[in-house]
A = this chain, B = another copy of it.
């Protein structure tokens, strides 16, 4: 697989989007000051257009400062709108910043303070208005401060209950306003709080079923967040797809068991990213492929462009490899050999009936013989590695 110029360039149909906050990230971290100057949102839009992105997503305060007057807000939005129109970039998703301001120091929807809970709902309503105005159809909820360090102070049951109350209210608000939002819930196990409620995509998938409008709520899994807990990211995504709940996805990369790194997509866990891309493409996922990552703190804004281009390029390369995998005769032959089909047996267990149960109960299985079936997993995995390393035809 030799690269030709432009071969792995992003295409509009790839639906590659970036958060406004990702390319505008200034490189501050817990032990260091900013290394990049502020980036005007309008310049961020142009930078992304330049790199070939399809869209840009935002938190309310990525664009409009928390203290802006209505008039300032409108002018900022107008100017931003203009940049979108000039560049053709879409705003497919919006979300609320419920974590930066000290008012949220002990959570937003799940705070122990009734005023904070109400203010968080109000702030989200306004942010939903903004997102709608910019054309967003997906609204993401990441509960950055919804959790605790001190479990003595707040019951986990209250956390769940309060989050549900807020979501139910906001679903109704969306419906009442005639917004066609799909809500997408984004899990994270910890950081910045000691432990966050709903630590994985699984926990949110479960929570959705307890809402008043489950049909309008899905998930926004993020590579880094599930990987921090050492979970298989694409297994979680597969379960979300199975449940019809993959409304959005956050692509980046991460080493397990450490701080939230938000690395360039595919820069760390090549094999896992391959299976993720393969899953999305094989499932004909129609949503946005959103990169929620940022450039290393060492970079200037040229490096930020390298970062943005790299995210998309690696996705496209892995998409091509997924196509190869599906077309590879040796691999597909091996897969056929590994699986043992038996339609009669499948029929027996597909639907319960007394008769099926009786027949299954009487069936004699030869454990030793079945257990001896060759599975050839080492060979299959090595072929995958060869394909990833580009040493197959």
Contacts and interface: CB of A to CB of B under 8 A. Distances in A.
Nearest to A170: B352
Contacts of A160: 238-239, 242
Interface stretch (A42-50, A71-79, A86-94, A300-308): A300-308
Interface string A350-376: 111010010011010101101111111
Give 4 nearest A-B pairs by CB, closest first. A390-B390, A156-B238, A202-B203, A205-B206
A73 to B, nearest CB: 14
Contacts of A200: 199-200, 202-203, 231
B342 A298 contact: no
B349 A121 contact: yes
A190 B380 contact: no
A188 to B, nearest CB: 10
B390 A389 contact: yes
Contacts of A385: 266-267, 270, 310, 314
A337 B363 CA distance: 57
Contacts of A176: 352, 354, 357
B32 A105 contact: yes
Contacts of A283: 157
Contacts of A261: 194
B119 A349 contact: no
A297 interface: yes
Interface stretch (A9-17, A95-103, A130-138): A95-103
